Amino acid sequence: MKKTVLVTGSSRGIGRAIALKYAEHGYNVVINCARSTDRLEQVKKEAEALGAACLAVQADVGIWEDCVRLFAQIQEHFGDLDILVNNAGISWIGLLQDMDVSQWNTLIASNLSSVFHCCKLAVPGMVKKQSGRIVNISSVWGVCGASCEAAYSASKGGVGALTQALAKELAPSGIHYSITDAGGDSPNVVQPRAQVLYMVRSIWAKEALALQERVDRIALAASMMTDTTMEKKFIDGCSNTVPNKVLEKLLWENFSQVEMPEYTEEEIAYAQALCDSVEMKDNKLPGDFTEDSEELYEFVDKASEHGTKAINDFLIPYFYSEHPRMGSTDVGDVSWLVPTAQINTATYPSKAPGHSWQNVSCGRTSIAHKAMLMAGKVLAAAAVDLMEKPEVLQAARDEYEAKMKRYGGYFCPVPEGAVPVVPGEKM
C-alpha cells in the first residue's frame, strides 16, 4: 500500500520541491496552499506527471476549520497520513512597533498555530498505526532572532520548541530527533557546525541498538559527503521491562485487600475541572492499555461510567500480557536482573494525558497522596507475603529464569565509556 504525505504551503519554493520529490518516489501526495490556486494546480499536474496520485486542497492551515476540512478530504481520498511536512509560513519585515496586532496574529497563526493544527489532526492516525513521521520546517532566526523580524523569529522559535516537546510525547513510535544547534547565526550559508539530538526507541533494547547503528551510519555518510567531521555522544539508554506474572498476580491480590481511597467533593470537583480542560473526541482513556483485551476494555468502560468519572475509583481485573513494555527509567534494566513487577494507582484525573500539565498539577494534591498511600500499603503487604510464602518467591524466580533463558539474558544498552551529561552543560 502506498504511503501518503501532506506538504503544507506547497504551491512554490521548498514545499513544491518536497512534494515533487515524494511524488517521484511513488507516494500519494497531498499539496496545499492558502491562496495561490493556479500555482497549486500546476504542482498537481507536475506530481501526476511523475506517476503520483495527488490531491490539491486550498486551505489556510492557520485556521482550525480549514485544517479540519483539509484532513477530512485526505481521509476520504487516502486514509490516515503517513508523513506530515509542516512547511506553510509567511514573513513580515519591519520594526515591532510598526506591526499591528492583526498582523502579529496572522503571522503566528500561519507559522506556529498551523503546525499545532496539523500535528493535532495527524497524530491520532499515526499513533493508531504505530508509524508516522512529522517534519517541521523552522529557521535559524528561531534560534538567534532577527532584527526587524521579531514575530517571524518568535514563531520559528515556537516551532522548534514544539518539535522537541512533541518528539518526547511520541517517542515510543520509533526514531525521533530535534535540532538543538543550527550551527550559527548566518542565514543562507553552510554553518561551521550543527548539533542534532536523536532519541531511538523500540520494544526491545537490542532492536533499538540496531536502529541506533543505522542512525550512526547515516550521520557518518552525511559527514563524508559534505567533507565534514562527525562526533557522537551517547547520553543515556534503558531497557524494556520484562513482566513477571507471579509478582503481578501477588500485587493484584493485595490490591483487592486494600480499601479504595474515598474522595471529597472538593477533590472530585478539582479533578473534574482538570478533565474538562482536556479536549478529547471520545471518552477513551489516554494511553489506553485495554486494547489488548476486549473484556478488560468493556469493564473499564462500564466502571468509569463510559469515561465520565473524574477519578477512577475502582480496581481493574488482573490482565497479563507477554508483550514487553518500553521503559523510560532503569526499572526496565532492573527487571532483567531480578523478578520485577509494577503497579499503577490513580494519582491524577482519568482524562489527564501522561506528561501533561493536568497530570503534573496533581502531584502535590491530596488525590495523589491518597493514591501513593494505597500503593505503599500494597507493596508492603506483597513484601510480607514474599517473606512468609517462599514458594511464591521461588515461583517468581523460576519464571524470571525461564524468560532470561528464552530472551538470552540481560543486554546493557549503554556502551562502555559513555559519560553522563552534566545538567546545564552543553551537549
Q: Which three cell numbers stand for residue 379?
A: 507493596
Angle, helices 245-255/366-388, rounded to nearest 10 degrees: 120
Task: Provide, rounded to the nearest whole percent, the portion of the chain with pLDDT above 90.
Answer: 41
Yes or no: say if 237 and 330 are a contact pair by the CB < 8 Å rule. no
Q: How confident is the model at residue 365 (pLDDT cuts 50, 70, 90)?
A: very high
Over residues 165-179, the pLDDT tens digits come to 887 777 655 545 555
pTM score over 0.85: no
pLDDT the model gives residue 285: 47
Please name each of the domains of the chain with its CATH number: 4-184 (3.40.50.720), 245-407 (no CATH)
* Whether the predicted pLDDT of 127 surpasses 80: no
Per DSSP, helices labelled H in 130-263 are: 141-144, 150-169, 205-225, 245-255
Measured distance CA(334)–CA(327) in Å, rounded: 11
What pLDDT was estimated at residue 287? 41
Which residues, at least 6 apart from 98, have a Cβ–Cβ distance to it below 8 Å?
A: none
Rounded distance between C-alpha atoms, residue 190 and residue 376, angstroms: 56
pLDDT of residue 194: 74
Give 33's Cβ-side CA count (13 Å radius): 19
Cβ–Cβ under 8 Å, residues 345 and 375: yes
| 272 has a pLDDT exceeding 80 | yes
Clarify whether 152 is annotated catalytic: yes
The active-site residue, picked from 22, 27, 152, 270, is: 152
**Residue 423: pLDDT band with limits 50, 70, 90:** low
Q: What cell was used for 69?
A: 476540512
Residue 68 is inside which H or E element, if any?
Answer: helix 64-78
At residue 283 the predicted structure's pLDDT band, cuts being 50, 70 and 90, is very low
Enter the C-alpha cell of residue 210: 540496531
The secondary structure of 10-67 as a DSSP string is -SSHHHHHHHHHHHHTT-EEEEEESS-HHHHHHHHHHHHHTT--EEEEE--TTSHHHH
Residue 321: is its pLDDT beyond 80?
A: no
How far CA 151 is from CA of 43, 103, 111, in Å, comes to 30, 9, 10
Query: Using alpha carbons only, what angle is made at residue 170 by residues 351 and 29, rounded to the nearest 5 degrees?
Result: 115
Give residue 326's pLDDT: 64
**3, pLDDT greater than 50:** yes
Say what the pLDDT of residue 236 is. 81
- How much is the pLDDT for 253? 95
Across residues 12-23, what is the average pLDDT?
Answer: 91
Helices (H), 304-365: 331-335, 357-361
Is the pLDDT assigned to residue 330 strictly greater than 80?
A: yes
Query: How many Å apart are CA 216 and CA 206, to the nearest integer?
Result: 15
Read off the pLDDT band of 184 (50, 70, 90).
Answer: low
Q: What is the mean pLDDT of the chain?
A: 85
Model confidence band, residue 364 (pLDDT cutoffs 50, 70, 90): confident
Alpha helices in 226-345 (DSSP H): 245-255, 265-276, 294-303, 331-335
